[in-house]
Amino acid sequence: MERTVHDALGRSVTYTYPPKRIISLCPGITDTLFALDLQEEIVGRTRFCIHPSPAVLDVKAVAGTKDIKLDAILQLKPDLIIAEKEENTKEIVEALEHHLPVYVAEVQCVEEAYTMIEDMGDVTDRRKEAQSLIAEIQKGFHSLQGLTTGSAMYVIWKKPYMAAGRTTYIDSLLETLGFSNPIRVLPGRYPELTTHDFKYANPDLVLLASEPYPFKEKHVPEFQEMLPHATILPIDGEMFWYGPRMLEATSYFKEWLSKASL
């Protein structure tokens, strides 16, 4: 049957319910759909959708997050395409909605990650599975409360340096873990930073993400030189994805919080 819903942007989306052929254009959402037992319904993904491995590799890659193969998508004849406002461009959504129903999610904080999971359960007829996943994640995150204090910044890029700022899921996750993020006072969601910005921010902890820029241990000295009193810690950026990675992240966070010694 046909069903009409409103997505996270308030757009009206009419599609076949429950959808039997789904394309996901966001790694965290693809991961979520698998966790909701929709592996048989997912027919297309982006090349960056790498979880859950190896099952997701059986799904045809028809896009990046900023580019699509329109002909390949049309050939799959999906009932529903799921995009995300930050991960995908407005141009991609507009190009696709001329041909197919496109639902756009939006995740800018931990609470919106829970809402996204709930919404995915609603649009795919997996409400019970979605509520179970949310409850499990919330239980894990609750166990992290009170483990740390201080300030932390999350660096995502080099040349130019860039870090996660306000209205980002990463900023919200840092706050959930008990940190303040000194970068949130700067304009923009992922502001470019100078050496002066690092010194002015004066964080207790600097997290060097493994993606999108592949920071490693060899990069620690250059940050330590700028911030001699800070703890510099390379971390797995995938643990800062929303969706089922939030489950895996609980034990991971406990481990690196002990390393940070804050």
Residues in the chain: 262
Q: Angle, to 10 degrees, between the axis of helix 127-142 and the axis of helix 27-35?
A: 110
Q: Phi and psi of 28, rounded to 5°?
A: -65, -35
Q: Rounded to whole angstroms, how far apart are CA atoms 162 and 172?
A: 17
157 and 106 part of one domain? no
pTM: 0.93
- Distance (Å) of CA 246 to CA 58, 77, 223, 224, 256: 23, 31, 27, 29, 15
Gap between the terminal Cα atoms of the chain: 54
**Where among 114, 140, 166 does a domain terminate?**
140
129 and 71 part of one domain? yes
11 and 53 part of one domain? yes
Q: Which helix (H) or strand (E) holds 249?
A: helix 245-260
56 and 132 part of one domain? yes
**Where among 92, 119, 140 does a domain terminate?**
140
pLDDT, block means (10 residues), the chain with 262 residues: 97 98 98 98 97 96 96 97 96 96 97 98 98 96 83 96 96 93 95 95 96 96 96 94 94 79 54
Give the total number of structural domains in the chain.
2
